[in-house]
Structure 1
């Protein structure tokens, strides 16, 4: 009797600690935490919102050449991403679509024409003397930075590499009193007159109308010339107002849907349903934390996939509880029925989730844009729903049995069978 009492106390402590840990994690995740200047941002603040949730520009670029190797496509993708980030855009999502197209999604309110112009340029920088001879190219530039000169005018400051420094020193020494034009993609952007030889490997491009223009040009120069020619074939603007309205509506729909699921589980399955709801709370928190840590962009299709996986997680619990009820109805003791219920439901749960996971993989590799986001969310949700349904729910129910919370068939909505655990 003493050993049984000790075991019951131990189970009670473990159960309480598990519940406190789950709700503490959920509270910290959704509300954030700040103490002594140290802050954990809430999931809502930390998560990256996709284009459809905060507005922005989506540009579909197409490579004009045929039969481009995969490494060249990957290099082009990296340079396009670098160009966008260099002009001050954050949280950009750049993805390949097929073998010739690259989509650039830029959340936030930005000028689409400027974005397209910056992405489309091949980035061919050339310095030419007065006779039209090329004396420097973009390959000779080590670093390009947008700065303000002594007159507070925006300029692009160039620092040349060792080879470029030698070339430029020679070119400026031979062209004192003459012009050295600086052109980007055959368009002259500056045409200064050489006053004296420049030997320190530093040059300046002036004539910029604004700091934004200087920043864009420095970004293109820094990212280097694109290995292929690209052209914008589709430009879609998503209004910030649309995104601002979409997110609260999506959150509201999610809260209502999840609340209805919790109510159903508790009303229909009673105490076991409550434990399943606690496990689902952990599941929801973990999915969102994984999104934050992966720096994945949450989109409307992603939210739809998230809610779908909550339904799948509930399905897993329903299968488990129905198997437990079947065992109890034929007279098997409660603890044995719970063990058999989980074992019997395992194959059905794994099979159904596996087929959905395979479908999500196909969507990810064959789809594009929002479809990929849907697929990623679905795969993350499937993995975590299996964990919470098969492990967390099982632990909570077994602890509840050991501590005496679950001890009658009525708590499982079973009217006949064994009454002893």
Structure 2
């Protein structure tokens, strides 16, 4: 018997209504986008400049989630960055020197005096005055080794200690270098993501490529240079004891020291100890503020460990200068006037309000563990994105009209029902994209166009089966029922295999390929739903109302 239970009818209709409601905000994209931005500003405590009017520009009882537009549709910036993992080796060796120095000084009576030697970036070389004790000294340094914290380096030590005459040579082991490389790239990835999220851009694409490269695509940002300004700064904040001042970068610094330029003071250089007292890794907060002279500055706060180091150093070195260093440049070198307890302070310098705000953002997000070298950068203008949207819209309209005309001419009234279901199908696709917060790209539009062509395929199978049943002298109701039953297996087989392909594309692909896979996969789900349930519901409701003795498909 050709019938559908009441609860099924209600569920099918409700699904279509909810899907179309979710898709509706995309028909008013600029208005809803302005509303969403205004609501976010109000939640952040901002007001004025017409924010309240923009927030009221879209009814609060309606859905307001939008399909995010990708880089090729919205315009924006594209960067491919290579993480300079070798920087971490050098920093690691520098940070080991105080620990090695204190350890060997405690055994001075046995091994004699120690002196740091000029070393390659990834080595630490220490000379002792009693060569006969070199093995004993090397054994002491080996005691500083720790297990490598990675699955591939299980059982290995993080450092390799060897001797060269009266010199102890410390290097990172190969296993530790591999673990460090992976850890550095992952850390850089997360820090870049936090920095971009702080700026409030929409749906950035930030993913690892290969061993040491990161792909960054940010829609809606002005240019690649602006994006580089946000993420390209290492933001390594360190505090160093000051040894002296110099007038040239070529000044002799001495072992364990380095010469750094002063930010904003041309011709001024500071000789500082290479090993920092405390680093930005111990920062837990940084905020833009103003100093006592009402000049832009940045306040900071350390965690308990960093606060204790900072407090102990200031208590023991009252009257001595110390340097606040950002990315290899001395921001300021104040004289310690008193013990600074509590682990908080303020960074002053020649900042503008914008620079102090950006510096606070970078410090809050964390320091990049290593520098970035930008191998590729592109700026995609919004005009090009608008051209892509127009081209995609034209392609969708042409495909849509062609399919509608073909179905109506081929199947008459039944083709009209299939066309209505096709319109609902496209609405459901956009509703699902909005619901999951997906990003629509140009390949994604291609997936929608392909879905439009494939969406009626199930209806074609059903209608052809109904035609065959009608030829065998069955009644209209029985022919419709058998047509749906016998076409179901073919519909499921075809769509399941295509859906599996979409899943594989999503799992193995990246960027544009994933965008295509998402729209294709969602289109398959909505196509099967509209063909099997929506079209059938419309045919059944028509049949119940008219009760025709014969039908033509």
TM-score class, shorter-chain normalisation, is: 0.7 to 0.9
Normalised by the length of structure 1, the TM-score is 0.82
Tell me how far 1:88 sits from its aligned partner. Answer: 4.3
Local SS of the residue matching 1:182: strand
- Aligned pairs for 1:1-400 (under 5 A) are 21=17, 25=21, 28-29=24-25, 31=27, 38-40=60-62, 46-64=66-84, 74-131=186-243, 132=273, 133-149=275-291, 153-207=295-349, 209-226=351-368, 230-400=372-542
Paired residue total: 402
Local SS of the residue matching 1:275: helix
Deviations 1:317-337 (A, max 9, x none): 112211211211222222222
| Separation in structure 2 between the aligned mates of residue 316 and residue 80 of structure 1, nearest angstrom | 46
The structure in which a higher percent of residues are helix is 1
Local SS of the residue matching 1:409: coil
Local SS of the residue matching 1:292: helix
Local SS of the residue matching 1:198: coil
Q: Which moved more, 1:289-298 or 1:251-260?
A: 251-260
Q: Answer yes or no: is the 8 Å Cα contact 1:175–1:194 preserved in 2.
A: yes
CA 1:336 to 1:50, structure 2 compared with 1: closer, same or farther past 3 Å?
Answer: same
Deviations 1:255-312 (A, max 9, x none): 3432332233233222212222222222211211221122221111111111111211
Tell me how far 1:75 sits from its aligned partner. Answer: 4.4
| Separation in structure 1 between the aligned mates of residue 304 and residue 416 of structure 2, nearest angstrom | 69
| Separation in structure 2 between the aligned mates of residue 261 and residue 191 of structure 1, nearest angstrom | 73
Stretches of structure 2 that go unaligned for 5 or more consecutive residues are 33-55, 86-176, 244-272
Tell me how far 1:100 sits from its aligned partner. Answer: 4.0
Q: Answer yes or no: is the 8 Å Cα contact 2:20–2:431 preserved in 1.
A: no
Deviations 1:68-102 (A, max 9, x none): 68776554432221122224433322233345433
CA 1:380 to 1:101, structure 2 compared with 1: closer, same or farther past 3 Å?
Answer: farther
Tell me how far 1:380 sits from its aligned partner. Answer: 1.7
| Separation in structure 1 between the aligned mates of residue 201 and residue 75 of structure 2, nearest angstrom | 13
Q: CA RMSD of the aligned region, Å?
A: 3.5
Pair 1:404 & 2:424 matched: no
Q: Answer yes or no: is the 8 Å Cα contact 2:443–2:516 preserved in 1.
A: yes
| Separation in structure 2 between the aligned mates of residue 247 and residue 117 of structure 1, nearest angstrom | 29
The structure with the largest alpha-carbon Rg is: 2
| Separation in structure 2 between the aligned mates of residue 91 and residue 35 of structure 1, nearest angstrom | 23
Q: Answer yes or no: is the 8 Å Cα contact 1:126–1:183 preserved in 2.
A: yes
Q: Answer yes or no: is the 8 Å Cα contact 2:291–2:348 preserved in 1.
A: no
| Separation in structure 2 between the aligned mates of residue 136 and residue 326 of structure 1, nearest angstrom | 82
Q: Answer yes or no: is the 8 Å Cα contact 1:22–1:282 preserved in 2.
A: no
CA 1:353 to 1:201, structure 2 compared with 1: closer, same or farther past 3 Å?
Answer: same
Tell me how far 1:368 sits from its aligned partner. Answer: 2.3
Normalised by the length of structure 2, the TM-score is 0.64
Tell me how far 1:341 sits from its aligned partner. Answer: 1.6
Q: Which has the higher contact order (CA 8 A, sep 6+)?
A: 1
CA 1:408 to 1:209, structure 2 compared with 1: closer, same or farther past 3 Å?
Answer: farther
Tell me how far 1:228 sits from its aligned partner. Answer: 6.0
CA 1:15 to 1:406, structure 2 compared with 1: closer, same or farther past 3 Å?
Answer: farther
| Separation in structure 1 between the aligned mates of residue 228 and residue 330 of structure 2, nearest angstrom | 19
Tell me how far 1:56 sits from its aligned partner. Answer: 0.7
Tell me how far 1:384 sits from its aligned partner. Answer: 1.9
| Separation in structure 2 between the aligned mates of residue 200 and residue 262 of structure 1, nearest angstrom | 72
CA 1:40 to 1:181, structure 2 compared with 1: closer, same or farther past 3 Å?
Answer: farther
Tell me how far 1:214 sits from its aligned partner. Answer: 3.0
CA 1:163 to 1:275, structure 2 compared with 1: closer, same or farther past 3 Å?
Answer: same
Local SS of the residue matching 1:231: strand
Q: Answer yes or no: is the 8 Å Cα contact 2:71–2:220 preserved in 1.
A: yes
Tell me how far 1:349 sits from its aligned partner. Answer: 2.2
| Separation in structure 2 between the aligned mates of residue 337 and residue 346 of structure 1, nearest angstrom | 14
Local SS of the residue matching 2:215: strand
CA 1:108 to 1:172, structure 2 compared with 1: closer, same or farther past 3 Å?
Answer: same
CA 1:288 to 1:19, structure 2 compared with 1: closer, same or farther past 3 Å?
Answer: closer
Q: Which moved more, 1:286-295 or 1:152-161?
A: 152-161
Question: 2:265 — aligned with what?
Answer: none
CA 1:47 to 1:67, structure 2 compared with 1: closer, same or farther past 3 Å?
Answer: same
CA 1:196 to 1:18, structure 2 compared with 1: closer, same or farther past 3 Å?
Answer: closer
Tell me how far 1:189 sits from its aligned partner. Answer: 3.5
